[in-house]
């Protein structure tokens, strides 16, 4: 277990995730004047925790092993896939969930009965700005740690 704490690349990734999630919670609380504990661990929002994590991972690998290393190559490709997915499929899923929630609300109002057993997650994906800010946060944290 002690060896995990010596792994700077892992520490970079975990610290970037924690910083993004904490930032996301604070930003949500300021904008909505409501503190929501679910934002600490939830998806979506500013900045992207996914992007911060994989960017810190790739940057840590670059700093520790070099840009020509196998370790950096794997982390870089993973980062591109994760960030693309966060803006693509996951973002569209969030938009669809919002629309379905609105439609369900209208239908429930017309029929006077509950149609959905549970609410859909509205915070799923990220905008390009959220991904860029998350990525910059991850890079910064990796430089601070490594």
Question: How confident is the model at residue 117, as a pLDDT?
Answer: 61
- List, for residues 78-129, the tens digit of each pLDDT value: 999 999 888 776 666 667 767 777 777 777 777 777 766 666 555 556 788 8
Contact 49, 24 (CB under 8 A): yes
Rounded average pLDDT over 2-27:
93
Tokens coding 40: 């600490």
Distance of alpha carbon 58 from alpha carbon 37, whole angstroms = 29
- List, for residues 30-86, the tens digit of each pLDDT value: 988 988 887 788 777 789 999 999 999 999 999 999 999 999 999 999 999 999 888
| Per-residue CA distances from 120 to 25, 38, 75, 95, 102 (Å) | 20, 14, 32, 11, 11
Name the pTM for this structure.
0.76
Q: How many alpha carbons lie under 13 Å from residue 19 in its C-beta half-sphere?
A: 23
- List, for residues 8-19, the tens digit of each pLDDT value: 999 999 999 999
């Amino acid at each position: 277990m002690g060896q995990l704490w010596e792994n700077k690349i892992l520490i970079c990734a975990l610290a970037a995730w924690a910083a993004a999630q904490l930032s996301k919670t604070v930003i949500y609380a300021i904008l909505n004047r409501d503190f929501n504990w679910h934002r600490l661990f939830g998806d979506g929002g500013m900045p992207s925790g996914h992007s911060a994590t994989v960017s810190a991972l790739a940057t840590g690998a670059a700093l520790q092993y070099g840009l020509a290393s196998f370790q950096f190559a794997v982390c870089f490709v993973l980062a591109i896939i994760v960030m693309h997915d966060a803006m693509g499929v996951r973002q569209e899923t969030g938009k669809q969930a919002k629309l379905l929630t609105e439609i369900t609300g209208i239908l429930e109002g017309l029929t006077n009965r509950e149609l959905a057993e549970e609410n859909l997650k509205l915070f799923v994906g990220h905008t390009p700005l959220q991904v860029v800010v998350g990525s910059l946060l991850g890079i910064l944290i990796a430089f601070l740690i490594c």
